Amino acid sequence: MSVVDKLIKYVKYETTSDENSVTVPSTEGQRVLVEELKRELQALGLETALDENGYLFGYLRNNTGKNLKKLGLLAHVDTSPDMSGKNVNPRILPYEGGDIVLNEELQIVMKESDFPQLKDYVGENLLVTDGTTLLGADDKAGVAEIMEVLEYLFQNPEVPHGDLHVAFTPDEEIGRGPHHFDVEAFGAEIAYTMDGGPVGELEYENFNAASAKVTVKGRNVHPGTAKDKMKNSIFVAMEYADSFDRKDTPEHTEGYEGFFHLNDIEGDVEETSLYYIIRDFFEDTFEGRKVQMMEAASALNEKYGEGTVTVEIKDQYKNMRTMVEPHMYLIEHAKKAMEMAGVKPIIKPIRGGTDGAQLSYMGLPCPNLFTGGENYHGRFEFISVESMEKAVTVLKNLVSIYAEEV
């Protein structure tokens, strides 16, 4: 079974995570896929450990007799709740350029004008959806690529390798991936997440992240007699939102620029809630953003009365760069593995987060490698077969590099 065949198999498992669930994993479908992966790992000769929270570890033992670093490879099995992952219907399309009709009946078209990066894939084979679901290459492509490398090592036992520790984890898409990850039981000294995008991506910087809930209290009075009595929480909430620079948002920022993102709003005259995420690469400006949110609330409380606006901020994850920089050989080895595969390394910050960010702060330095996918979390998600094959070659090279290091 080829790497793309593995991906096609895995995406047909419904594994959408659910941020409103209190179970671990958050959805049962994730556990179903992990059970299948456990069987596949065992068939490839790995020792396995699957805990009650749906974290699957696999161990392939050192075959060199040398004292080598224990290398971890990780991917997550859940898909984003931003779009349905049920009844995914993938197909392979030889891409010759232009627009791609995903679903003729529903007139769903991936337009080259909307996604100019399609021009980079002319002559390649693209795995696409039928336009009614996401694909799930984020991160089942990472799962498939790791499994492909393990199958290669199983079929070629003469290939030298150190201890390989594999982890397939739940709930990354809702920020809980490492929450029940037992680093000590996993046993790797260093690791890589296979959770990046286009070919060449190599990432060891990510956002500092926090969530914020802003609650605005109003006072409802019959509108016929409301003069000088009513306090409409909706208008106060709008005023709060307007206190931030409209350009300081995801749709106007790139590179190392951070943002405030108003992700949801709900309410009525009596009470309105605004839900934000805060993102910034730099610790000082990240903390400054949190202060800015509190100061905006204070200004409105001074205007409308104490207790009108309250802000609850929760830190989510930190920039892994601080924890990876003492181990820069991780990056150098990954660059070498890519160059050996004819891939140009593209070192860039992640405008988001991965399990590796939290795991790095848990004592497991863990940069991120490309899987080859594009347009994650939506109906226009796709991945190139050739990109996946390059990712597999890079992983094979990486295993070889670590097998040579004593």
Whether residue 132 has pLDDT greater than 60:
yes
* % of residues, the chain, pLDDT over 70: 100
Structure tokens at 244: 């931030």
**What number is the average pLDDT over the span 15-37?**
97
Look at residue 4 in the predicted model and tell me its pLDDT: 98
Structure tokens at 3: 């790497």
Instruction: Render pLDDT for 358-394 as a digit per residue (tens, 0 to 9).
Output: 999 999 999 999 999 999 999 999 999 999 999 999 9
Structure tokens at 251: 């749709």
Neighbours of 113 (CB within 10 A): 7
Return d(Cα 220, Cα 231) in angstroms, integer. 7
Q: Is 165 annotated as a binding residue?
A: no
Instruction: Render pLDDT for 39-83 as a digit per residue (tens, 0 to 9).
Output: 999 999 999 999 999 999 999 999 999 999 999 999 999 999 999
- Find, among 355, 373, 8, 40, the residue nearest to 169 by Cα: 355
Structure tokens at 14: 């419904």
**What is the band of 33 on the pLDDT scale with cuts at 50, 70, 90?**
very high
CATH superfamily for domain 3-205+319-404: Zn peptidases (3.40.630.10)
**What is the band of 289 on the pLDDT scale with cuts at 50, 70, 90?**
very high
Q: Which residues are catalytic?
A: 78, 172
**DSSP structure class, residue 175:** T
**What number is the average pLDDT over the span 288-292?**
98
Q: Amino acid identity, residue 399? A: V
Look at residue 352 in the predicted model and tell me its pLDDT: 84
15 exposure class (CB count in 10 Å sphere: 0-12, 13-18, 19+): buried
* % of residues, the chain, pLDDT over 90: 98
Provide CATH 3.30.70.360 ranges for the chain: 208-317
State the chain's mean pLDDT as an integer. Answer: 97
Provide CATH 3.40.630.10 ranges for the chain: 3-205+319-404
Instruction: Render pLDDT for 168-223 as a digit per residue (tens, 0 to 9).
Output: 999 999 989 999 999 999 999 999 999 999 999 999 999 999 999 999 999 999 99
Residue 388: strand pairing partners? none
**What number is the average pLDDT over the span 331-345?**
98
Whether residue 406 has pLDDT greater than 80:
no
Q: Which residues of 194-206 are buried (b: 16+ CB within 10 A; e: fewer)?
A: bbbbbbbbbbbbb
- Which value, in Å, is the radius of gyration of the alpha carbons in the chain? 23
Look at residue 92 in the predicted model and tell me its pLDDT: 98
- Find, among 46, 53, 320, 10, the residue nearest to 176 by Cα: 53
**What is the band of 95 on the pLDDT scale with cuts at 50, 70, 90?**
very high
Cis status, amide bond into 160, omega within 30 of 0: no
Determine how β-strand 108-110 pairs with β-strand 271-280.
unpaired
Structure tokens at 50: 């699957």
Return d(Cα 112, Cα 90) in angstroms, integer. 20
Look at residue 354 in the predicted model and tell me its pLDDT: 84
Q: Are 401 and 164 in contact, with CB atoms under 8 Å apart?
A: no
Q: Is 195 annotated as a binding residue?
A: yes
Q: Is 184 annotated as a binding residue?
A: no
DSSP per residue, 68-115: ---EEEEEE--B-TTS--SS---EEEE--SS-EEEETTTTEEE-TTT-
Neighbours of 18 (CB within 10 A): 16
CATH (residue range 208-317): 3.30.70.360
**DSSP structure class, residue 107:** T
